[in-house]
Amino acid sequence: MLRAVRLAAALLVACVGLVVTVSAPAAADCTCKQAGLEKQIAQADLIFVGTIDRVEAQGNGFLYEITASRAYQGTPERETQVLSAGGRDACGLGELGVGTSYVFFASGTATPYAADACGGTSVANPAKVDKVEGILGAGTAVEPPPPPTAQRTLVEDAAPAGFARAAAPGAAAVLVGLLGLLVVRRLARS
């Protein structure tokens, strides 16, 4: 009986261990240790609040198309992209929710910028935004680019043709029509 209890306990521990190991999220493989906010700010080239418009899987990671609304560090475009590498030990952001706003701590000088779970990127809740603004200030709004202005293009540099030159083809057509009418009437009388 004691042997059966030991065997059952060992099987229970093995099953629980297997369930925990198999169901652990991919982020559990990430070995980075999140630094304090000041260090995350110092390491980031770009810090901004943006809303996820589209998420596209790329290899083991994800490419996020984002509409930036407020910049605290750097100057992102209104419509920008962030790439988060995935895979084992990559500490990627995972599949972020479309329509959700995040505070991005990104690196790089051009789109797509890079961001990961260790850099400080997280949901843009009021507490996180207040902490960032406490260190970096209120930031600046990221405005959309101005619409293109209308350009007037001249077709020719010369002055338009005079009335006589413009009316000559029409007058010639009228004369040909009248002559044709006279010829047809004469032929009809004969």
Whether 62 shows a pLDDT value over 80: the answer reads yes
Quote the CA–CA distance of 100 and 79 in Å, as a whole number.
Answer: 15
123 and 102 Cβ atoms separated by less than 8 Å: yes
Q: 163: closest CA among 171, 152, 155?
A: 171
Query: Is residue 169 situated within a structural domain?
Result: no
The answer to whether residue 1 sits within a structural domain is no
pLDDT for 132 beyond 80: yes
DSSP type of residue 109: S
Nearest one of 34, 108, 31 to 75, comparing CA atoms: 108
> 51 in a domain, yes or no?
yes
Percent of the chain clearing pLDDT 90 (strictly above): 51
Rounded mean pLDDT, 169-185: 90
Tell me, yes or no, whether 116 lies in a domain.
yes
Question: How does DSSP classify residue 112?
Answer: S
Residue 72 domain-assigned (yes or no) = yes
Number of domains in the chain: 1
Tell me what pLDDT residue 78 has: 94
Q: Which CATH number belongs to the domain containing residue 38 in this structure?
A: 2.40.50.120
pLDDT at 48 over 50: yes
73 inside domain: yes
pLDDT value for 25: 45
User: Is 13 among the domain residues?
Assistant: no
- Predicted TM-score (pTM) of the model is 0.62
* Euclidean distance between CA atoms 121 and 115, whole angstroms: 7
User: Is 180 inside any structural domain?
Assistant: no
Its domain, for residue 85, covers 26-128
User: Minimum mean pLDDT among 72-81, 102-111, 155-164: which range?
Assistant: 155-164
For residue 154, pLDDT over 80 is answered with no
CA–CA distance, 102 with 53 (Å, rounded to integer): 12
